[in-house]
Structure 1
């Protein structure tokens, strides 16, 4: 192998590499144009053509597909359409898996013999205490029109079995008798038959699907097979738009036109969405009617297809109600109940809704989702404190058997409607108790405290952007990443429960930690044995899921002792709970904001600040105070000597942390923010004939954001000195923090580099250039452009270094391809062979 590569070989290798790069560039450009251009553009224009409502749009669709007008806008809208169709496709596939694994509803497959072997599982909506007796020979609500309507609309168990049900199930009456002789084989065969029905497919595939990877699907493997995938995606997009958007919309539109309700619908500002939902509702009713007709005509396959279609539409509508409508109603109710808190009126909200309906609905939906999330989190915390069974009327999100999709599939619509109305009552009453009533009390007791100052504009010289960054980057992470808050809340709830239980003599009911009398424990133990003996064994995966969704009693129920006047005590418990919620909400609305106003007033004077920042400041102060009090209470039993040693230890750690934080959180972000301001922001925003004004606070806040981004990129990048030092400091922790190593290895290099980048251009612009005797205009031009030039030089030097490294790698690659025949691993540390004398001795 020559030491130096010949020029001809080097140029040939370079040309070959350039050609390969151009080939890859053309292929990936084609992939990007196909997936980011053709697919979304086609979806957008087909969608627009279908919803234009004119025949001319259909005739001019080929020309519209080739039009170059509004390409970027149509591509973005098409990406949204493609995302919606993709989500619909994935949801359908996932819902099919849920139906296969969880089993069909009873009304969907009334001929299944398992419904006759285990009739107790068919009373899904009936509680265990009120469960009806097993039905007579014929199935008891399993088949026939009454069974179908009852299963779909929620009246199962209340419908009388029709006469033709016995005739329809005549062939199945022999199966229970056979199952009595050999129940395991019968049930296994039934489960297998059900699985075959679930896996029925109208298209019989001749060959198995080839293994498909993301690289092959998108065309990143270098082949052109992805063009076929593009064609299929465009076709599926068109099909999904036609089936799931066009048809429901026009069904709802014709219905609204027939009812002459166009003017009423236009007031909602979302007439298209509401029209589509009305169309889906009418489709669901039509599917129910057609399913009943197919059942009467005994079209088994048609009946099953129509039933599955109804399940899909039913689950889709319930998902829209649970995830879309319910949080939206909660958000609007929160806004209406808090109007007095912000000195607003309902007329202002209506006007803002008319100006930006989509933004207003999204904000209210987001607020409602946050409220629902924290409400559910508080309920989970209550379940950790209270006796199992107290919150029987609320679903347990931590239950591993809880599956909301299975409930949407199996439970009837009337039960879902009752749950929705009950949830609305509970959540709405909580908002009234914890928001509307405290605001009214605050207006009466503290007339000068309200309203909250939440204007978007501020008279303060401090930028709102800086305060938002400070809040998002410093305050909220410190509050949310601490597990102490949840522990304090849990202890507070337990203390309240203990106090109220002692006052009302309900400790056995609330907490369940009181031993029951013998006369209460013995009957409970006697009742458990027949219940366990009567419990049927699971009959396969589908039946296990069906039994899971329709349990015979409350999960995790713990018996309790009922004192005298139990109902009156429960009413008093509800009254205490309401008063406690009202008082805690009143304190939460007053205390943090008052502390925050006082602390911000010491710094900013009489200038009004956004209440979000005052509340954050007050919450952080309360958290620090509570944390300090908790630490002191934990240290108090150890004695004064231990407390003094702990104070010395934490004092030294605190001094180290303050010193390091002053450099890393104060000085470094300030230098970084000034450097970004001088190099990027100032040349873009400030003209040459104007004097730039620097806000140190804003530069520091932006520097904090830039520092966090740089740290994240550093930890994701390759190994170099900054990443090694950060990992070392992180592994040491706060207790084992080495002050000298942090200062010498991290703080001094960072401050030195940033200081040099700030000072060197300043010395040149303000020291060397004026000494050369140039004009003031030239001095100003140099001063304003030297920092961008400095940044450009640094980036150019980094680019040249990177390219030189890449060229060196390419050079070695060309040389190895040209002259290196192969590589062989040779072990140079092998043991020497034994001497011949020893071998001869051994031989003798």
Structure 2
């Protein structure tokens, strides 16, 4: 039995499971102490244990301080200053690099720039590993296999030969093996690895990598990170920059690039383009010279640069163009002009580019999310005029060549329908409601789209429910009425009453003590408190869901699993709404009652009551937080005493068996 308990203890230690997977009972163990353990710990043992734990805490503090300095100080600072030294283009900068590493000038900004450089290096490394995984799992690309390329060229040459040559080769066709010679052994595409990327790192964990396990092995990792980062900067930034500089000088376009604020970035991109052209030429030379090993390496390098340039265009340039387009289209909306935008760009080019890129990225993201949402909601075939980019058979070039006229006409008709019909309906409806015709087209389009959606939805519902009969329609109407009543009741309680109470409590605790004068009376705006309370309610729900196990979290999870249709409104009110409303009501009313009912008994004046009313809410909150902190510290001290006693007298642990209570036994017997 002891062997089973020890095995279970070891399994729970490594699996980190706390509950049984069958009965969901929590595992509990009773400690087994030495028979000579005293009832109360002696003072000397308690002192020795506290000193030992204090020394361990100080040692951990120094170790974690060293970890933070190494990863957040040394590594980014080295990356920034090595990058700056490489791009200074002077021998003296390399000679003074060791002294510059010890300099404390602008150390904070250098650390921030180094963090950005480390992040870019890490993204490049992860992208290369991801590309390698795609090649390994998806098979080697056919154009990277020199044997297949040669076979395809030979087959194409044979197909281009005339019938006369085929007739002369009849004798050779009778014995093809003798002419073809020994057959090539195809390589295993899935096991193709031009470089050895994998290393023996079975025991490497995140704690061991960053030094959070207490060892000093992370110093070796810091050295390797600095070395690899320097290698990445030299290979992927320094070399392309100088190649692009030479290429731009040869093309006599360097003077134009110096007019741009981001000269180094543009020159580096030109260098990548020049490298891609050079790799393509060398790639074709290897095909002609039949250098298989160099062919694969050059093909892989060309593939990496091609993916990098495509990703840069998709993630960087295209969102930037979209951001510029949105800004140009919205100039009349903000009362600006192109000259103002050029002036903003000249004053802060980096900020201007980042804001335009961010606006374009948000636009692309929401547009793609909208299209994906439409495909999930609508049945297949509705969005026939919008092709699915995830379709493997999608080839836009062939479709444009084959269906150019038809595709253009269908897109034109669909665009006219999607734009003119909703706008026309929206204009008519807004004119009937308000009697005015001067409205922004955005409102008319939104109103028309909503009317079209209502018409389509009603037609779909009528086509589904009319064949079922009046009785079924009545039952469905009653059912959906109950569901709507449940939704209204739950929403009113959660986002109405609770949100208003949260907003009012936040107003009393934070806003009133900060904004109201010393002898002034606060003015409350219920609508404003309710709107802020909705935000606080959402934050509270998120904190409850990500917090520890409690009754409120279980009620939220059960309501989420039940859904709006199967929501148990009685349990929702009794277990969630009423406790929260009572707690918030007491938090608001009890301090008010104390100020206006208890203080006048002790002779407090009206001015003193006003001052106390403003200060009592944050004061009580501070007392509650301080009490929770004291309770937490008392538990920590109790756990420390238990830890000291266990280190000295603990022998083992005994599993507490699960036993039914009396009521459960009665239920089982019945």
Shift of 1:230: 0.6
* 2:579 pairs with one of 749, 753, 760: 749
How many pairs were matched up? 606
Counting only pairs closer than 5 Å after superposition, residues 392-403 of structure 1 correspond to structure 2 as: 396-399=389-392
Partner of 1:357: 353
Shift of 1:763: 3.0
Counting only pairs closer than 5 Å after superposition, residues 104-503 of structure 1 correspond to structure 2 as: 108-110=144-146, 112=147, 114-116=148-150, 134=159, 177=177, 186=183, 189-192=185-188, 198-201=192-195, 208=200, 211-257=203-249, 259=251, 261=253, 264-265=256-257, 269-291=261-283, 301-302=293-294, 304-333=296-325, 350=342, 353-354=345-346, 356-371=352-367, 374=370, 384-385=380-381, 396-399=389-392
SS in 1 for 2:59: helix
* 2:59 pairs with one of 11, 23, 30: 23
Shift of 1:335: 5.6
Shift of 1:55: 4.7
Partner of 1:464: none
Partner of 1:583: 417
Change (3 A) 1:812 1:593: farther
Change (3 A) 1:683 1:73: farther
Partner of 1:787: 617
Change (3 A) 1:708 1:178: farther
Partner of 1:93: 129
Partner of 1:819: 649
TM-score calculated relative to the size of structure 2: 0.74
SS in 2 for 1:324: helix
Partner of 2:81: 45
Distance in 1 separating the partners of 2:362 and 2:310: 19
Counting only pairs closer than 5 Å after superposition, residues 516-665 of structure 1 correspond to structure 2 as: 571=405, 574-586=408-420, 630-631=460-461, 634-665=464-495
Partner of 1:65: 101
Asked if the contact 1:119–1:135 (Cα under 8 Å) also holds between the matched residues in 2, the reply is: no
Change (3 A) 1:80 1:699: farther
Asked if the contact 1:45–1:65 (Cα under 8 Å) also holds between the matched residues in 2, the reply is: yes
Distance in 2 separating the partners of 1:652 and 1:3: 63
Shift of 1:282: 1.3
Counting only pairs closer than 5 Å after superposition, residues 701-716 of structure 1 correspond to structure 2 as: 701-716=531-546
Partner of 1:558: none
Distance in 1 separating the partners of 2:563 and 2:359: 40
**Cα distance per residue 1:534-586 (max 9 Å; x no partner):** xxxxxxxxxxxxxxxxxxxx9xxxxxxxxxxx99xx84674354133123134
Shift of 1:65: 2.5
Shift of 1:224: 0.8
Asked if the contact 2:500–2:526 (Cα under 8 Å) also holds between the matched residues in 1, the reply is: yes
2:554 matches 1:718: no
**Larger RCO (CA under 8 A, 6+ residues apart):** 2
**Cα distance per residue 1:110-168 (max 9 Å; x no partner):** 3x2x4455669x98xxxxxxxx864679xxxxxxxxxxxxxxxxxxxxxxxxxxxxxxx
Partner of 1:802: 632
Distance in 2 separating the partners of 1:69 and 1:590: 65
TM-score calculated relative to the size of structure 1: 0.61
Distance in 2 separating the partners of 1:762 and 1:178: 104
Distance in 2 separating the partners of 1:304 and 1:747: 66
Change (3 A) 1:632 1:641: same
**Cα distance per residue 1:413-463 (max 9 Å; x no partner):** xx9xx96xx99xx9xxxxxxxxxxxxxxxxxxxxxxxxxxxxxxxxxxxxx
Asked if the contact 1:597–1:614 (Cα under 8 Å) also holds between the matched residues in 2, the reply is: no
Shift of 1:663: 1.5
Asked if the contact 1:331–1:364 (Cα under 8 Å) also holds between the matched residues in 2, the reply is: yes
Q: Which runs of 5+ in 1 are unaligned?
A: 124-131, 138-174, 403-414, 427-553, 555-565, 602-607, 830-844
Shift of 1:588: 5.4
Distance in 2 separating the partners of 1:735 and 1:65: 65
Q: Which runs of 5+ in 2 are unaligned?
A: 1-36, 163-174, 660-670
Asked if the contact 1:380–1:397 (Cα under 8 Å) also holds between the matched residues in 2, the reply is: no
Change (3 A) 1:765 1:97: same
Change (3 A) 1:624 1:690: farther
Aligned alpha-carbon RMSD (Å):
4.8
Partner of 2:24: none
Change (3 A) 1:721 1:381: closer
SS in 2 for 1:823: strand
SS in 1 for 2:612: helix
Distance in 2 separating the partners of 1:636 and 1:276: 67
